[in-house]
Structure 1
Amino acid sequence: MSLDQETVARVLGVDVPPLPGPVVAVTHDSRAVVPGGAFVAINGFTSRGADFVPQALERGAILIVAEEAIDGAPTAVVPSDRVALAALATELAGHPSYDLTVYGVTGTNGKTTSSYVLHAILSAAYGEAATGLMTTAEIIVGSDHQVAVRTTGEAPVVQANLARMRDGGVQHVVLETSSHGIHLHRVDGTRYAAALFTNLTRDHLDLHGTMEEYYRTKRKLFEWTQGPKLSNADDEWGARLAGEIEGTLTFGVSTGADYRIERERRDGTGTVFDLVTPGHGTVSLRIPLLGDYNVHNVAGAAGIALEMGMSPDVLTRAVRDMAQVPGRFERVPAAVERGFEVVVDYAHTDIGLRAVLEVAREVAGDGRLLCVYGAAGARDRDKRPKMGAVASELADVAIITTDDAYHEDPQEIADEVMAGADPSNTRIVLDRRAAIDAALHDAQRGDVVVVAGKGHERVQHLADGDVPFHDVTVVTELLTGR
């Protein structure tokens, strides 16, 4: 699809300089500009978009979109560069969400697992070919799986993937919608048919500043959604959301929850619980996941599915047969034959780490719990000692290592984590591979090793540049190499 001058002016709402031809694409990355494309000069956190205009023009851009006029460039000056990027991307893609049923999932913890659960439920009901998924871990279009770059991609990526799904026959799409995605206008132009809120805990305050602003950003998803909306009644922010947004139903163990969790109990390698529903009575569910937080993740996704018209029988079968979620309490098979468990999880906050370690402690039983973890650089520093305290409290052996350090010194980050830890059961091993190897070497029959922080991610961001690193792969290599 392409846009003529009149359409571009209408979409942007500003005057547009004369164009030599139609706009055929839009991007904010000067390296991705194609002849006949528009380049939106976004001012990022560490760079100015205007600095990349010469490269964009060299590659064939016929229009520059920016918040200020740029000398020597055919510029459309707009109030917001990111709003303009989303508007052009949506128009070029043909507003694909209007031809799809899009389910938005947001929250601090659990949104990826909830997204996978909801996708599994929809796939069971409508078939794999008719379902799509965009999450932190990957993008799924029917049977095609691709590794995702970030939780919610930039607007051209979101709209292009929605268009690819629409054109490929997909009807139902689960879109993990992060606060970054909302705040930075990455999902502008997307019509949501249903929305799910998991919880809100301290995270991303480097972007939002306060928990109140973080919450208000998340709440926008519910303000946009006209269809079913479910929020976690057991989370104080979730309960508040339900009270503020008309038509929002709730889920949880709270007495007044519309979808109430009852009789939760562990059953072998999974969990069984009853979901008391407002329209289908009590539905008994068995899931191949452990932990209260995963029961909540499934309950929320199940509530959305039922509200959208799914039958309880299809729901029951779908959650029983769903697969592991990448990097979310993901068990590494290579450890089992050695008599212990290794679990890889994305937990990267003190709240997330506590939730995972509490479940791992239960799995360990009389065995020991070992934890390899770290804190990311260029992020909220206040959570670092809190993570150290949680790991020392719940693990028998804790090893602090390097997560994504970005531009920070890994040793300084580790020292800040160690400030909250107990030195009697904690040590620092900065090299992540060496830290994992040390934990595996220490592990004995019946123990559980948790490798936390990066989960599904396949790259480690360091000051000297990005390096390939995937925790599950590294654990498998270390175990099979012995």
Structure 2
Amino acid sequence: MSETLGVPVPESVESVCAVTHDSRDVVPGGAFVAIPGFLADGVDFVPQAMERGAVLVVAEREVPGAPTVVVPDARVALARLAVEVTGRPSEKLTVYGITGTNGKTTSSYVLHAILSAAHGTEHTGLMTTAEIVVGKDREVAVRTTGEAPVVQGNLARMVDAGVSHVVLETSSHGIHLHRVLGTRYAAALFTNLTRDHIDLHGTMEDYYLTKRRLFEWTDGPKLANIDDGYGRRIADEIPGTLTFGLAEGADYRIVAERVEGGGTAFELHTPDGVLELRTPLLGDYNVHNVAGASAIALEMGMDRDTLVRAVEQMGQVPGRFERVPAAMEHGLEVVVDYAHTDIGLEAVLDVARDVAATRNAGSRVICVYGAAGDRDKAKRPLMGQVASRLADVAIITTDDAYSEDPQAIADEVATGADLSRTTIVLDRRKAIEQALGQAHAGDVVVVAGKGHERVQHLPTGDVDFHDATVVTEILGTRVSA
């Protein structure tokens, strides 16, 4: 254990059976890592950890009365211990890391579908923003990349379940906060980089360098989106990185994209020939997601025919341009999407406009959206601009306000909006009700910001809220078209 932590461990501690940073999760014989958090210091919870049976405390300073090892970085120590106590699970798996600002989750689901078709559902795993999949078992995820004990614990669970191939959506938080430290990645994919998480990184350059670290860790195939400026940088800076996209020089080039049969078809020109791919997903950005996932699979030796079938037969991605089935009987298209930045919102509304154009001449796009609290404020008016430019009707509502005043957030979003076509309805359910109430047969309604999430974080506390469920409930009271 001293070798794992890089510092001497008290002689009274021979080993630990588990590790956690949450004193409530300590088990007898386990280690408690006291992390200096954003709102609280883990050292304050050492007494509770000891009461629950902790035999070792890891902290960045001495803790009187506790068997303590002092380390320079508690998060690094947490990650290293998590890897060791779970038996280094990533070394027994083929782990595919996917990072970027937008498209991580969808690309992860596409790749998971491909791997499931090739190796069997029972032998594939998935960890994303939306859910954790261990073979045929699925559960809702808490965050994009869980803390180190969660990541390594889930990987160990996959090993025990007979899983061999895992897709791990890897966020900048996961990299920056050492949540994935010690994970062995067999392949890496970069989707794009746009303004987000500046509250954590401070600058776009730091955000980029954090994302790039995934490629520095990966010895196997590495794919980057050549149509994104930061993707081109990764390809230039990290030896062996291949590219995908529309650009002429792409190693995996997207050609002849077209809407077809309620989905999208395109040619993927690869180093070994041309693949004709069809996907039920809509939108240019989803073509990139499919192309990137397909490219990394092919580089890992995937059978081409299996890949083509898997892409064509894959299901919806939770909260990513997710169509609500209940809307169809009312003649509507209602879409729930996780878009929570101006770039993400623009991409979704562009596709919504394309969908509206295929319905009838009078079809409108109605958008319900908001911005998160305690996050980058600069994007708020930009989101207002995007919604006013691309939606016929826009309703600003509450996203995850956290500790901020929802009205203040909405007012900041509204500074960039066309107020002649924008209203503010702070209650999210009432905002969705208003949008659906205004919608006529043929219209496309986009509910953006929360996607797959099932909890809304408000100053008054957390409440259960799932956009697709709320839409379905409201439509259930509406007379069919």
Q: Scaled by the length of structure 2, what TM-score is found?
A: 0.98
SS of equivalent residue, structure 1 residue 19: coil
CA distance in 2, matches of 1:252, 1:474: 36
SS of equivalent residue, structure 1 residue 230: strand
Q: Could you say which residue in structure 1 is the equivalent of 2:256?
A: 263
Q: Measure how far apart 1:481 and its partner are.
A: 2.7
SS of equivalent residue, structure 1 residue 163: helix
Equivalent residue letter for 2:287: V
2:315 equivalent among 318, 323, 326: 323
Q: Does 1:71 align with 2:67?
A: no
Q: Measure how far apart 1:118 and its partner are.
A: 0.2
Q: Give unmatched runs, 5+ long, in structure 2.
A: none
Q: Does 1:169 align with 2:162?
A: yes
CA distance in 2, matches of 1:283, 1:348: 33
1:219 equivalent among 208, 212, 226: 212
Q: Measure how far apart 1:465 and its partner are.
A: 1.1
Q: Could you say which residue in structure 2 is the equivalent of 1:5?
A: none
Q: Could you say which residue in structure 2 is the equivalent of 1:82?
A: 75
Instruction: Deviation per CA, 1:367-418: give whole Å up to 9, x if none.
Output: 0000000000010000000000000010000000000000000000000000
Write the mapping of 1:5-404 to structure 2, written as runs, cut at 5 A. 8-19=1-12, 22-279=15-272, 281-365=273-357, 366=361, 367-404=363-400
Q: Is the 8 A contact 2:130 2:144 kept in 1?
A: yes
Q: Measure how far apart 1:144 and its partner are.
A: 0.1
SS of equivalent residue, structure 1 residue 446: coil
Q: Is the 8 A contact 2:79 2:182 kept in 1?
A: yes
Equivalent residue letter for 1:110: G
CA distance in 1, matches of 2:460, 2:24: 22
Q: Measure how far apart 1:444 and its partner are.
A: 0.2
Q: Measure how far apart 1:21 and its partner are.
A: 5.7
1:442 equivalent among 430, 438, 443: 438
Q: Measure how far apart 1:19 and its partner are.
A: 2.9
Q: Is the 8 A contact 2:13 2:56 kept in 1?
A: no
CA distance in 2, matches of 1:412, 1:71: 45
Instruction: Deviation per CA, 1:214-263: give whole Å up to 9, x if none.
Output: 00000000000000000000000001110000000000000000000000
1:454 equivalent among 447, 450, 455: 450
SS of equivalent residue, structure 2 residue 243: strand
Name the % identity: 74
Q: Measure how far apart 1:22 and its partner are.
A: 3.2
Instruction: Deviation per CA, 1:285-315: give whole Å up to 9, x if none.
Output: 0000110000000000000011011121111
SS of equivalent residue, structure 1 residue 276: strand
CA distance in 2, matches of 1:44, 1:274: 48
Structure 1, 53-62 or 225-234: larger mean CA deviation? 53-62
CA distance in 2, matches of 1:229, 1:209: 27
Equivalent residue letter for 1:18: E
Instruction: Deviation per CA, 1:81-111: give whole Å up to 9, x if none.
Output: 0000000000001101111000000000000
Q: Measure how far apart 1:60 and its partner are.
A: 1.1
SS of equivalent residue, structure 1 residue 337: helix
CA distance in 2, matches of 1:86, 1:22: 16
SS of equivalent residue, structure 2 residue 419: coil
SS of equivalent residue, structure 1 residue 207: helix
Equivalent residue letter for 1:103: Y
Q: Is the 8 A contact 2:365 2:393 kept in 1?
A: yes
Q: Give unmatched runs, 5+ long, in structure 1.
A: 1-7
Q: Measure how far apart 1:20 and its partner are.
A: 5.7
Instruction: Deviation per CA, 1:306-350: give whole Å up to 9, x if none.
Output: 101112111100000000000000000000000011000000000
Equivalent residue letter for 1:152: T
Instruction: Deviation per CA, 1:195-231: give whole Å up to 9, x if none.
Output: 0000000000000000000000000000000000000
Equivalent residue letter for 1:121: I
CA distance in 1, matches of 2:45, 2:177: 20
CA distance in 1, matches of 2:184, 2:8: 27
Q: Does 1:477 align with 2:473?
A: yes
1:463 equivalent among 459, 465, 478: 459
Equivalent residue letter for 2:351: V
CA distance in 2, matches of 1:110, 1:80: 31
Q: Scaled by the length of structure 1, what TM-score is found?
A: 0.98
SS of equivalent residue, structure 1 residue 39: strand
Q: Could you say which residue in structure 2 is the equivalent of 1:4?
A: none
Q: Is the 8 A contact 2:128 2:168 kept in 1?
A: yes
Instruction: Deviation per CA, 1:120-157: give whole Å up to 9, x if none.
Output: 00000110011000000000001000100000000000
Q: Is the 8 A contact 1:21 1:36 kept in 2?
A: no
Q: Structure 1 residues 114 and 420 mapped into 2: Cα distance closer, same or farther (>3 Å)?
A: same
CA distance in 1, matches of 2:476, 2:105: 29
CA distance in 1, matches of 2:49, 2:375: 31
Q: Is the 8 A contact 1:288 1:320 kept in 2?
A: yes
Equivalent residue letter for 1:274: E
Q: Measure how far apart 1:16 and its partner are.
A: 1.4
Q: Could you say which residue in structure 1 is the equivalent of 2:409?
A: 413
Equivalent residue letter for 2:162: G
Q: Could you say which residue in structure 2 is the equivalent of 1:3?
A: none
SS of equivalent residue, structure 1 residue 424: helix
CA distance in 2, matches of 1:376, 1:87: 33
Instruction: Deviation per CA, 1:13-37: give whole Å up to 9, x if none.
Output: 1121233663111000011111111
